[in-house]
Every structure is written in C-alpha cells, then in structure tokens.
Chain A
Amino acid sequence: EAGVVQSPRYKIIEKKQPVAFWCNPISGHNTLYWYLQNLGQGPELLIRYENEEAVDDSQLPKDRFSAERLKGVDSTLKIQPAELGDSAVYLCASSFTSGRGGNEQFFGPGTRLTVL
C-alpha cells in the first residue's frame, strides 16, 4: 500500500514569493491534515479536512495561507506571500475517521521550505 505522498520534498524561495505544496493521502482515508513542524518541535496543526470540508482551520494564518481539497482526495496548501518565519517542514497526514475507532494517522515525508 502506498503511503502519504507529498511534493516537492524541498523548496527554496525568496520572501514575498508564493509557494504551493501538494499532498496525496492514503487511498480510502477521508481525513487529511496539514501540519507545520519547526526544528526540534512537535507537529502543529494548520488545517484538518474531513472529505472536502475543512473542519478545523483555526490555526491557519488566513491572511497568507490557503488550502483546498476539492474532490476529497488530494490537497494543496499555498502560502502567498511567504515570509522568513514560514521556513519549516510542512507535513501532510491522513487517517480514516469513522467515529468508532481505528483512526491511526500516517504522515507523509514532508516539504522542507526555506524562505530567503
């Protein structure tokens, strides 16, 4: 079974430029997460989707960040414009939410963003 796929793996941009990250979750997983991970810290949730619906985006800086999951499968996270402080690893994860358990979460390899 293929795991969570993310691209690109690395991205270097200059500040004020836009950037986009793509995620393909595990087949059949209805819940998709975008996390931000700074060096030496745990993942911090940016947004969580159940199918196409963003059910938790309270931590997403909406002035510059946006996300979409149009068909309830792949997802894109965008930053426009990027700032120096956005340099981090952006992790995508997925799980199957049934409300009855079995909701193991699996992570993608992440995109390491460097803003110069």
Chain B
Amino acid sequence: GENVEQHPSTLSVQEGDSAVIKCTYSDSASNYFPWYKQELGKRPQLIIDIRSNVGEKKDQRIAVTLNKTAKHFSLHITETQPEDSAVYFCAASNEVGGNQFYFGTGTSLTVIP
C-alpha cells in the first residue's frame, strides 16, 4: 500500500515569514494530494489540493507543488499569520484505483506574533 511521510513534525516561524511542509509518497499510482488544516479540537479542513496532471497550484497565501518523478509534494504558506497556527496533514490518494486516503503524521505549525 501507500506510505506517506511528512516533515517536519513541528515548525515555528515568525509572523510574516514563510512556512514549508514536505511530504513524500511511495505509490506512483497516487494522483490526488490534499492538504488539511486541523485546529485544536476541530475537524480537519481541506485547504488546498493538487492532482498529478499539474505541478503547482496557488490559492492566495497558500501554494502546493508536486514533483511526480521524485514522489514528493510540499505546502507553502507565505506571509504567515497567527491564525495559521494549527496541525497540517498531507494525504495521498488514487482517484481511479479506489478512494482510499493515506495521511502523513502531521506538522504542528506555530506562528509567533
């Protein structure tokens, strides 16, 4: 099956700086890669996703890049704000081969005001 690894496990940045979280996956059949933000005591919320037919996607301060050859994808948050503090999870899925999602272990992001 798929194996998703996520780094770092914790990340602290100053407000206004950028944050980068990286994930690798093992199954070349995976073709859908969502990112979730989970605030303490709340549900994981989808914040951005990317499919294997594109290399980069951006939504305001959030961007995701995908390198299919190297089997890794990254979340980039620019101009970080205190409200970005949360745990972020990456995931990988094969949209054609069944809809099972494999999650990374999470990154706890703290934005210091």
Q: Which residues of A contact B (CB under 8 A)?
A: 31, 33, 40-45, 48, 50, 55-56, 91, 95, 97, 99-110
Contacts of A102 in B (CB 8 A): 95
Partner of A108, one of B43, B89, B98: B43
Known A41-B105, A42-B105, A101-B32: A56·B44 in contact at CB below 8 Å? no
Chosen A-B contacts, 9 in total, with CB atoms closer than 8 Å, are: A31-B99, A42-B103, A42-B104, A42-B106, A100-B95, A105-B93, A105-B99, A107-B43, A109-B42
Chain B interface, >50% SS class: strand
Residues B100 and A103 in contact, CB atoms below 8 Å apart: no
Residues A95 and B99 in contact, CB atoms below 8 Å apart: yes
| Residues 68-112 (chain B) with a chain A CB within 8 angstroms | 87, 89, 93, 95-96, 98-101, 103-106, 108
Q: Which residues of B contact A (CB under 8 A)?
A: 6, 32, 34, 36, 42-46, 49, 51, 87, 89, 93, 95-96, 98-101, 103-106, 108
Expressed in whole angstroms, the Cα–Cα distance for A44 and B51 within the complex equals: 22
Known A41-B105, A104-B46: A48·B100 in contact at CB below 8 Å? yes
Partner of B98, one of A41, A56, A105, A109: A56
Contacts of A42 in B (CB 8 A): 6, 89, 103-106
Known A33-B101, A56-B100: A91·B51 in contact at CB below 8 Å? no
Residues A103 and B93 in contact, CB atoms below 8 Å apart: yes
B22 to chain A, nearest CB (A): 15
Contacts of B98 in A (CB 8 A): 55-56, 97
Residues A104 and B49 in contact, CB atoms below 8 Å apart: yes
Partner of B95, one of A45, A55, A103, A108: A103
Residues A45 and B101 in contact, CB atoms below 8 Å apart: yes
Expressed in whole angstroms, the Cα–Cα distance for A53 and B105 within the complex equals: 28
A115 to chain B, nearest CB (A): 19
Contacts of A55 in B (CB 8 A): 98
B106 to chain A, nearest CB (A): 5
Contacts of B104 in A (CB 8 A): 42
Expressed in whole angstroms, the Cα–Cα distance for A102 and B98 within the complex equals: 12
